[in-house]
Amino acid sequence: MFETNLTVAGKVVTEIVRHTFPNGDRKSSFRLMARERRFNKEAQDWVDGDRVFVQVNCWRRLAEGVAASLVKGDNVVVTGRFFIREYSTENGERRSSAEIDAQALGPDLGWCTVVVERPSWSPSALSTGMPAEEVVAAA
C-alpha cells in the first residue's frame, strides 16, 4: 500500500483529547489549522490567505508527549501519514475529514522556545539495553 506522508506547520485549535483503549493503547488528538500568509505588493503588507483544518492523531509514546506538552493555541510542526476519512452522520449525510496519523510532532520554534526534558527511556538506552543514567555516564 502506498502512503501519503505530509508535513504541516500550523496552530492547535482545539483542546488535546486523550483516550486509553481497553488493550492499553493511548491516543491523543486535536485539530490543526494551517493558514497561508502572502505578501500583498499593492498594500505592502502580509495578508491571510486560505486555511486548512486537519485532525491530528497521535499514538502511544507520542500521544503521552503531546498530552503532557501541548495546549490549544500552540504552533506546531506535524509530519505523518495523511488520509481522508469518510463517514456518515446520524442523519445519513456523507462527510469526510482530512487526518494525519502523526509520526513526529514538535513545537514550531519560530514562535516559541523550549526546554527539552528527556525521559528515562531515552533512545540510546533502548538501543543499548542499559538504563539511561548508565548510557550518559558511559559517554
We report the CATH number of the domain holding residue 14 as 2.40.50.140
Looking at residue 135, what is its pLDDT? 43
Q: Are residues 86 and 18 in the same domain?
A: yes
Count of domains observed in the chain:
2
| Separation CA 105–CA 16 (nearest Å) | 14
| Separation CA 114–CA 65 (nearest Å) | 14
Q: Are residues 63 and 127 in the same domain?
A: no
Q: Are residues 70 and 136 in the same domain?
A: no
* Low-confidence residues in the chain, pLDDT < 70: 1, 121-139
Looking at residue 77, what is its pLDDT? 98
Q: Are residues 74 and 138 in the same domain?
A: no
Q: Which of 32, 20, 110, 100 is nearest to 70 (CA)?
A: 32
Instruction: Provide the strand spans (E) within the chain.
Output: 4-12, 17-20, 26-40, 45-59, 75-88, 94-107
Task: Please answer whether residues 126 and 133 qualify as being in contact, where contact means their C-beta atoms are separated by less than 8 angstroms.
Answer: no
Q: Are residues 68 and 120 in the same domain?
A: no
| Separation CA 28–CA 15 (nearest Å) | 10
> Which set of grid coordinates corresponds to residue 57?
492523531
Q: Give residue 94's domain range.
A: 4-108
Q: Are residues 50 and 118 in the same domain?
A: no
Q: Are residues 100 and 123 in the same domain?
A: no
